Chains A and B, each alone.
Chain A
């Protein structure tokens, strides 16, 4: 943190900013005292205008990492895009330290182009485009070593500068694990727009559910409607003996029980299929390639439940 910031800074958006004793000697005291820091963020208006053509905004959340947020994001987008060619789907990856979507969609070598109307996303299909910080890195080894404020500025820029086209039916936002800067910023920026909701992904074991309950608590605290919970990697069918087993045991009843306890809808379970992981690594469209897999059937069911909940919201 900037060593010039006083230890007991009340925060620039506080009503006492610039006026308390801790502000004495702070180089920004005059700016804070003038009240400009408390005016509404001018970017919010720009953002509202930019996203006015977006019908539904869906955040994909999980308190836990590695449960399949990016995989589910890609499957949700692919299913929605395949269902109806007239519908446009946009996907935004705000996992700034670990962007996975360019790889999962098989477009990791693409570049972002800039036009007069903003940044152009990368098109995976005619009606499916994505934007990720991964496109902005020079090499895939590059680490983005940023503290919160810089990440927030990047997210704001993504929301205000990307030109998603004339209309977008769904904007799906893939998030990093946790309940911190990225999540707070997204909620802060998008809360003023309509049709804003979240879907939560988990795996069946308690160590994951423990973190996901925290994410649901976060959603409740900030007033973000939850469309439902998806349980990923739930059962595994051995390719040799065809016997089903639980890789990550539901030691506390799994996601269905947790959803019931937390009072949110349960959207369904996705069985673990090793070919899905392989498709993600290769950027192949799993829904098309393995159309008969029980995993695809389960995902289509979940998307159906999800869109139904979206309509009734």
Chain B
């Protein structure tokens, strides 16, 4: 890991489709909005979502003497991204790799990317507690890792998997920055009635049970979530989603 990275934050969840990539990108965009320089490393090799969410599909990774150059979202170079999505020929191509090959590739991603003075490097992970996670954990031991943010949705079936991720972090000594409960309620665009699609408060009670910080709930709001490449705190500053993310960004900057 290059010495140009000041803080590393992992975004994890035992469960898939809970919004890890959305949290990763919004967190990074939020930090950039506060004037920090950020990087996102997408280690989800079978289903990379970050290039799509940040509207960077079809961009290419270049190589310089110092290593691979990440793809930047704009000329200010305040947000750089590296994902396997930039390396496949077509967006429909599958990456059919077994563990050892994934491990070797992730090692390369962790050591060979040329990050230029990044304040926060956010690592977006696939669901589970397997090859990708073990490799990341083993290879950032010497690096300035602040810890992991765990993302969940409120229903039991997701919480059960997130408990396993929590155990993984505890077993491997990764500090837990907190739990985010995503998709917590859906506001009907017609009558503004809020329905709990996947029950509610599960993330909060999980955080209490394991005595880790609860970072907040994020509701589903299609009006807001359609604009994925901009920070919700700038596009819809009054929305409940923006208020949640603003406080999450503040917690990451000032953990105590």
Contacts and interface: CB of A to CB of B under 8 A. Distances in A.
A140 B199 CA distance: 20
Nearest to A207: B49
A280 interface: yes
A238 interface: yes
Given A98-B14, A178-B126, A103 B156 contact: yes
A240 B94 contact: no
B95 A140 contact: no
Contacts of A218: 94, 96
Size category, B interface: 35 or more
Given A145-B130, A236-B186, A241 B193 contact: yes
A28 to B, nearest CB: 15
Interface string A81-109: 00000000000000011101001100000
Interface stretch (B58-66, B163-171, B241-249): B163-171
A181 B100 CA distance: 10
Contact of A145 (B47, B53, B134, B153): B134
A214 B163 CA distance: 29
A147 interface: yes
Interface string A209-225: 01101111110011000
A39 interface: no
Contacts of A280: 155-157
A27 interface: no
Contacts of A247: 186, 197, 220, 222
A272 interface: yes
B130 A146 contact: yes
Contacts of B164: 97-98, 141-144
B201 interface: no
Contacts of B167: 141-143
A176 B92 contact: no
Contacts of A97: 14, 127-130, 161, 164
A65 B17 contact: yes
Interface string A61-73: 0011111001000
Interface in B91-106: 91-100, 102-103
Interface of A: 1, 63-67, 70, 96-98, 100, 103-104, 140-149, 151, 176-181, 183-184, 203, 206-208, 210-211, 213-218, 221-222, 236, 238-241, 243, 245-249, 251, 262, 272, 274, 277-278, 280-281
29 contacts: A64-B17, A66-B17, A66-B18, A66-B153, A70-B157, A97-B164, A103-B156, A141-B167, A145-B130, A147-B134, A149-B99, A184-B98, A207-B228, A208-B17, A214-B93, A214-B95, A215-B94, A218-B96, A221-B94, A221-B96, A236-B195, A243-B188, A243-B190, A245-B190, A251-B226, A262-B92, A274-B197, A281-B155, A281-B157
